[in-house]
Amino acid sequence: MEVLTTEQKIIEAARKIFTQKGYAATKTRDIAEEAGINLALLNYYFGSKENLFKQIVNEELEDLFGLMSPFLSDSNTTLEEKIRILVKDYTKLLTENEDLPIFVLNELKNNGNIFNHILQQARTMSQPILDNQLKNNGYTISISDFIMNIVGLTIFPFIAKSLLIASGILKEEEFPQFIRNREKLIPEWIFAILKQSRQ
């Protein structure tokens, strides 16, 4: 069994606590306690909860795009398969990290370049293939609209979760099933949009 370094212990503990409590409710002392270290050591390695969360978010996004880029840039994976995989992977990532969308939006607002290297790599690898697949299937929708529809439909419910619950549209305990239902429905909605755009 691999022995974790102190830094790895902190990251694993933080990932667990952020997932359980969310970013806002997590205290650095909770992370230090979970990692079995003192708070001073956590501050020494990361300086703040925000820095630690930022590192985890970067790792999560790199993992996600690292997994997605090969199949997005694979011309043998059909457009329909790509849509289903994208929705499934985004839903899984967001279910495990519900604070991620808000955190990313805040980071983009405060530092617009933070995710450029990750997104640029994914776009360079996948855009030509996706463009060809859209055109070859007779779809006139732009690649930006195609991606925005998938990402928007998948991510927005996590951004709006508090509003949905506060307004009484959903109860907290209904949210996971709501997301599972959408995971099945979003690809069908995307297919319908694509058909409408066919020449």
The highest-level CATH class for domain 56-196 is: mainly alpha
Structure tokens at 81: 């398969």
Q: Is the pLDDT of residue 71 over 80?
A: no
Q: What was the pLDDT predicted at 123?
A: 67
Assess whether the region 1-47 and the region 56-196 belong to the same CATH fold.
no
Boundaries of every domain in the chain: 1-47, 56-196
Q: What was the pLDDT predicted at 178?
A: 97
Query: What is the Cα–Cα distance from 92 to 141, expressed in whole angstroms?
Result: 26
**Average pLDDT value for residue range 88-104:** 81
**Degrees, nearest 5: CA angle 169-153-172:** 30
Q: Is the pLDDT of residue 21 over 70?
A: yes
- Record the pTM: 0.73
In CATH terms, the superfamily for domain 1-47 is: Homeodomain-like (1.10.10.60)
